[in-house]
Chain A
Amino acid sequence: MTTRKQPHELTCSDPAEWVDEYGDSLYRYAVSKIGDRDIAEDLVQETLLAALSGVDSFRGKSSSLTWFIGILRRKIVDEFRRRERDIDGRDAAPAAPLSPRRNMGRHRHRHEQFADCPAEPEAVLEQHEFWEVLDDCVTSMPSHFAAAFLLRDMYHEDTDTVCEQLEISPANLFVRLHRARLILRRCLESKWFDRPTSNSK
């Protein structure tokens, strides 16, 4: 560590300036995943410190921000995994937010009420409020689903990599992703597509 090379490849060569250059972008990224602003600030600090000690590994292939985001992404998954362990430690059988067997036995088309897909998805994606609601829904997801969802649907890791990182079987991963996506759908339904249709007879 004593012979650390100067990080001349980075746009901002002085690490003291990183916080001004990248701090807000990293902070917004962290808030969108974690929700809690204090934790997001801690994660930004951890990211920049980790970057400092790993600056030799920066190859300049990606932009500096992409490199920092890569580090932050791992920190965020670590945060969710830590929470998951905390929950497991307190309660051996954490209550699942969805009870899959609830409707077994009397099969009907008992779907969640969910409005029709927006006729013009593009129009929805233009609205700022939509992104805020999406963030809200993502950050309120239980942590054991959030880690799988983040790695797979946000970071686009392949399933083998996700299973390895979370130390779970593919079958378990598919269950978590299924639940996570339905939770997100239900959350958006109640917070955004607040136009229940009654055609699910």
Chain B
Amino acid sequence: MRWRDAKLILALKCDESSRLTSASFDRPLTMVERMALAGHRLVCGQCRKLLLQLQFLREAVRRRENDLAAGSSPTETGVLSIAARDQIRRAIRQATRRDED
């Protein structure tokens, strides 16, 4: 084991732990990184909490996205204004006409 790896495992700091926690959502961590993170989380309640928070946010964001993409939204974020609706309809009509010419 290289010195750098040993140091990562034995002396992982919170900012590094935070970075690895986020990275774990995006790439497989190396064995050394996993060991360092697990060891750090054993002694650091804040970093255990960070993992739960990021997981919670991830799930929340996923749900919001699915709802919106399916056209259902539990919030009232409004509807197109009448002016915008007319403007878009005109733009589409124009484009359709150009197509047919």
Contacts and interface: CB of A to CB of B under 8 A. Distances in A.
A44 interface: yes
A177 B22 contact: yes
Interface residues of A, number: 66
B30 interface: no
Given A19-B89, A118-B56, A41 B80 contact: yes
A80 interface: no
B68 A152 contact: no
Interface string B1-43: 0000000000001110011001101110000000000000000
A119 to B, nearest CB: 11
Contacts of A130: 60
Nearest to A49: B95
B77 A32 contact: yes
15 contacts: A4-B99, A22-B71, A41-B81, A109-B14, A114-B53, A131-B73, A153-B58, A153-B61, A154-B62, A170-B27, A177-B22, A178-B18, A181-B54, A182-B18, A188-B57
Interface of B: 13-15, 18-19, 22-23, 25-27, 44-46, 49-50, 52-54, 56-65, 68-71, 73-75, 77-81, 84-85, 87-89, 91-93, 95-96, 99-100
B71 A65 contact: yes
